[in-house]
Chains A and B, each alone.
Chain A
Amino acid sequence: MLIGKPSDIPSSAITSKDRYLNRRRFLRGALSGAAAAGAAAVGAERLAEMFSPRIGALAGTKLETVKSPLTTTGEELTPEEYITHYNNFYEFGVDKDQPAKNAGALPIRPWTIKVEGKVAKPQTFDIDTLLKLRPLEDRVYRHRCVEAWSMVIPWVGYSLSEFIKECQPLASAKYVQFLSYIDKRVEKWTSESNISWPYSEGLRMDEAMHPLALLTFGLYGEVLPNQDGAPVRIVVPWKYGFKSAKSIVAVRFLEKQPSTTWNDQAPNEYGFYSNVNPEVDHPRWSQKTERRVGLPFYSQRRTTLMFNGYGDQVASLYTGMNLKKNF
């Protein structure tokens, strides 16, 4: 079994929130010195922060990472501003800009993941244990939303399979389900949609064990901002974004395919598999093309790739399967 040397984060490597904010202030100062227009924008940003403080946020804390051979090359990274301010996280509001404003309320410490179901023995993992389980890798992935926009995101994490090995699933476990945090006192925006919570997603066991499936703790080398699914989420780069559940609190190993949120909500629109597939249209729009986030309106369109461009690695998982039927 592959057990990497635990990469402990020395406390000296962790930037305190105050120092992190100071660094930001320094950068802002430099900016405002540079341009008057810039200064106006910075002022607005500061005001915005005053009105929506990031409660208990660890976001921005540097993570110690190693390079990964599984990283995607040849793509320009989407600016961090967009990755962190254009989110679908309906527990914090249905508009794309709401999670960045509201997710500060998410209590990311203490945090545990409960492991249940077909396992040798149910256990609970603490987030700080998980952070040290394997070396954290920098992995750039394309991210394709089912709504037909896409980003390129430098995630930080390690293969989900490494965590699953620690869970010791039984041979009878054919599927794995991920449940997201839910507390309607914290996530007051759930009434904006008519969805049954908690958010649930799932993978077939062989999909979950694929090295590209990532247990994710950060992006751009830093701890995940809450709106991006802090403190720990799943990233499955060859599937539509909604398959990558955020802010995970429970992992269940199951014999049968679990019910999953969007598939329950509209089975004709969101399949259980939801592999990125330009040949299978969403009922409301074509999936042949996508809009790359962060580009001007006249140059956003690009062709969508089968399995989001990860076909060489993952197509074999679906040999003999009718992907039009099992979309």
Chain B
Amino acid sequence: MRTRSTPKQNHLLAALPAADFARLAPQLELVPLALGAVIYESDGEQAHVYFPTSGIVSLLYVMNDGAAAEIAVVGNEGMVGISLFMGGGTTPSRAVVQSVGRAYRLDAAQIKVEFARGGALQRLLLRYTQALITQMTQTAVCNRHHQLEQQLCRWLLLSLDRLPSSELVMTQQLIANMLGVRREGVTEAAGRLQADGLISYRRGRINVLDRAKLEERVCECYGVVRRESDRLFASHAAIAA
């Protein structure tokens, strides 16, 4: 957090061609992402889109009775607020900061103008949208078919891929909320991973000790999302070229 932030710590912004980046850069505003902060609510108008450079934002689906389940995580690989340029109406979802960090934000009107230009930024954001769809799809499947421990592994790996460090600041209650399960289940699953030396968990901080083993324990859902994301960034290189 003490290190200097630059917009290019966000992979989408970093993938823009120089001319597009130069045009966008003066409009970007660095803001903190505070733990638990609500970036948007389903019924509210979004004033900005956010490109995180650190931290994790959770996209949650909110049920009528207030229960919520995470449908995707966004970090330095992506952005929050695609409804602004996709032209969608409001949906029963909420974006919440689940790991502190920072983001560059861009005014709603400006992202709409930039998107409508139809250049590299538009191509990038549309492909990111596809990667996000894949993540949401896989979350739906994983919720249905896989054991809590596998889901926890998936969630840890997806979060780590989107963070600059291998440490997550996170309570078990928060993880339980994200996965839409009881806290006891998370405690049990996290305890097993800790006993096996894959993670260490202390005072709300999770450190990944053995990433390779974590990848062995995870369900295939992680790989599907990862490949889609890798493909996106492979194509970023093509866009920027």
Whether chains A and B associate is no
Give chain A's interface residues, CB within 8 Å of chain B: none
